[in-house]
């Protein structure tokens, strides 16, 4: 708590109230406005939550001006170089880095939950072959609630833990099933002798008629991308999960809501849109034309993978991924990658352009991630699914924090009503 207050005077009534200022461990203070409806009969108006802290959280911290991202206090750059996705998952879920034994136990818990019920597998046959994988993933995740009645008491900490392990373990299996369905290939069962990302690659790319060897370079690249996408405080999809979960709905329904929110091109769908945009631009010569379109408000064209609500300096994840692109493409022997070259030039030119400079628009996490996914042979329609797999860890961590909070209430924003005032029903004959 902070001893500072802001004084608010209602000009109509002269009533004064002191609004408390609350301080976090780091970052800007927040003004606690919970009492203003009671004291002044007004609500606050903040469309798109530009300046609203919707909750208190101990999981992830972002400093948008300095380009800082911390998971449970640890800088993402350190985790990216020293850690693994499973270790980061443990950190986000439980709050501390695991000991060797804790990590082994966690790994083994996740590994033991990788299979999905055979009936759930049959759901995929109900989808058209060209269904978008995000449609399949959100539907199948929501459907999981029909399979685990015995462990869905959200007030039971053990049930919550089992759910956490299940959803993190099964998301790659569901994603791979969606991918295989779109190819018309048989589903490949998980392999519990492989680590999380190697198993995912195996389920994606193995076929029953020949042996498959996971490329460790690909598995490592995926692991790093997953670390960078694991959590990002109260972003749109995480806020969606929290809002849905605040109703007490089952956690599979809440995570499915998060998957749907992530799908949009302003959020996780941007990675797919970036590649489409780069292909559309086609060559360096066309960059000025497309930059002009991005600046023209009537064109509806945006530079995908550019801009962020919070980062106004640079996105630290984009920096790491750009570096990683060079390394991964070199290791995979794909240095001649025209789309990567085009992306580098586009970034360079945009960052010298007054429009982007003045609005502090920088490449975000998704500007370069699609180039790596493509190099790993992951199809473009699966990019946002990859993001969803990683972000599931963040969603679950926030869900656990929310449900574990004794003060949890249903989230229910208010509105500024600008529709018709009260009026009487008019008979059909009297209407124009």
Residues with a known catalytic role: 308, 366
Pick 197 or 303: Cβ nearer ligand ACO: 303
Cβ neighbours, 10 Å, residue 33: 17
Alpha-carbon distances, residue 369 vs 58, 71, 235, 307 (angstroms): 27, 20, 18, 15
Q: Which is nearer to ligand ACO, 70 or 361 (CB)?
A: 361
Nearer to ligand ACO, 47 or 184 (CB): 47
Question: What are the b/e assignments for 271-281, b being 16+ CB within 10 Å?
Answer: bbbbbebbeeb
Q: Cβ-closest residue to ligand ACO?
A: 307
Point out which span in 58-66, 179-187, 306-314, 378-386 binds ligand ACO (CB under 6 A): 306-314
Least distance in angstroms from the C-beta of 229 to ligand ACO: 8
Chain Cα centroid distance, residue 402: 17
Place of tokens 């049930």: 159
Q: DSSP H helical segments within 128-212, as ranges?
A: 133-143, 157-183, 196-205
Among 98, 258, 305, 316, binds ligand ACO (CB under 6 A): 305
CB of 313 to ligand ACO, least distance (A): 14
Q: Closest Cα partner for 233 from 66, 360, 70?
A: 70
Rule CB under 6 A: is residue 309 a binding residue for ligand ACO?
yes
CB of 386 to ligand ACO, least distance (A): 12
Q: How many residues bind ligand ACO (CB under 6 A)?
A: 19
Residue 239 CB, nearest approach to ligand ACO (Å) = 12
Give, as ranges, the residues between 365 and 404 that touch ligand ACO (CB under 6 A). 365-366
The vertex-275 CA angle with 125 and 135, nearest 5°, equals 25
- Residue 281 within binding range of ligand ACO, rule CB under 6 A: no
Sheet of 16-22, strand order: 5-9, 16-22, 30-31
Binding of ligand ACO by 321 (CB under 6 A): no
Nearer to ligand ACO, 175 or 365 (CB): 365
- Is 302 a binding residue for ligand ACO by CB under 6 A? The answer is yes
Told to check if 359 binds ligand ACO by CB under 6 A, we report yes
Of 52-60, 68-76, 85-93, 300-308, the window that binds ligand ACO (rule: CB under 6 A) is 300-308
| Binding span for ligand ACO by CB under 6 A among 112-120, 197-205, 296-304, 338-346 | 296-304
CB of 69 to ligand ACO, least distance (A): 12
Calpha distance 32→19 (Å, rounded): 6
- Report in angstroms how near the CB of residue 384 gets to ligand ACO at its nearest: 10
Type and span of the H or E element at 41? none
- Nearest CA to 243 out of 72, 385, 398, 387 is that of 398
Strand, coil or helix: what is 22?
A: strand
Q: Contact, 311 vs 427, CB < 8 A?
A: no
Min dist CB 352 to ligand ACO, Å, is 15
SS3 content of the chain, % helix, strand, coil (to 5): 55, 5, 40
Restricted to residues 234-273, the positions that interact with ligand ACO (CB under 6 A) are: 265-268, 270
Residue identified by tokens 């790993």 is 376
Considering only 61-69, 71-79, 282-290, 361-369, which stretch makes contact with ligand ACO by CB under 6 A? 361-369
C-alpha 422/C-alpha 115 separation (Å) is: 56
**Which one of 222, 227, 361, 378 is in contact with ligand ACO (CB under 6 A)?**
361
Structure tokens that stand for 140 in this block: 């199948």
Would you tell me which residues interact with ligand ACO (CB under 6 A)? 265-268, 270, 294, 302-309, 359, 361, 364-366
């Amino acid at each position: 708590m902070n001893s500072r207050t802001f004084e608010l005077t209602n000009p109509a009534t002269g009533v004064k109230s002191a609004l408390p200022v609350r301080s976090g461990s780091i970052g800007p203070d927040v003004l606690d406005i919970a009492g203003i409806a009671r004291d002044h009969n007004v609500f606050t108006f903040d469309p798109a939550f530009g300046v609203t802290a919707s909750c208190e959280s101990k999981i992830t911290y972002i400093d948008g001006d300095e380009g800082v991202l911390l998971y449970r206090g640890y800088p993402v750059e350190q985790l990216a170089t020293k850690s693994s996705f499973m270790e980061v998952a443990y950190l986000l879920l439980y709050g501390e880095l695991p000991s060797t034994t804790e990590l082994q136990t966690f790994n083994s818990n996740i590994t033991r939950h990788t299979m999905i019920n055979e009936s759930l597998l049959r759901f995929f046959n109900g989808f058209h072959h060209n269904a978008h994988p995000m449609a399949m993933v959100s539907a199948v995740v929501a459907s999981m609630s029909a399979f685990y009645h015995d462990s869905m008491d959200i007030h039971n900490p053990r049930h919550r833990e089992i759910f956490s392990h299940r959803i993190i373990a099964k998301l790659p299996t569901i994603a791979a099933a969606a991918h295989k369905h779109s190819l018309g290939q048989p589903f490949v069962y998980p392999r519990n002798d492989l680590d999380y990302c190697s198993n995912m690659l195996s389920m994606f790319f193995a076929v029953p008629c020949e042996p498959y060897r996971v490329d460790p370079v690909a598995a490592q690249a995926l692991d790093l991308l997953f670390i960078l996408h694991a959590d990002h405080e109260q972003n749109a999809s995480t806020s969606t999960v929290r809002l849905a979960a605040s109703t007490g709905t089952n956690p599979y329904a809440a995570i499915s809501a998060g998957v749907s929110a992530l799908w949009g091109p302003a959020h996780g769908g941007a990675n797919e849109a970036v590649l489409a945009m780069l292909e559309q631009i086609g060559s360096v010569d066309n960059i000025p034309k497309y930059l002009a379109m991005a600046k023209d408000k009537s064109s509806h064209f945006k530079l995908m993978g550019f801009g962020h609500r919070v980062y106004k300096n640079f996105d630290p994840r984009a920096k790491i991924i750009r570096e990683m692109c060079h390394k991964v493409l070199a290791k995979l022997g794909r240095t001649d990658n025209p789309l990567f070259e085009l992306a580098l030039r586009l970034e360079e030119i945009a960052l010298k352009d007054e429009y982007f400079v003045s609005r502090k628009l920088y490449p975000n996490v998704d500007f370069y991630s699609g180039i790596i996914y493509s190099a790993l042979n992951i199809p473009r329609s699966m990019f946002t699914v990859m993001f969803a797999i990683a972000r599931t860890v963040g969603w679950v961590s926030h869900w656990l924090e929310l449900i574990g909070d004794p003060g949890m209430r249903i989230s229910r924003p208010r509105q500024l009503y600008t529709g018709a005032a009260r009026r009487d029903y008019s008979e059909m004959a009297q209407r124009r």
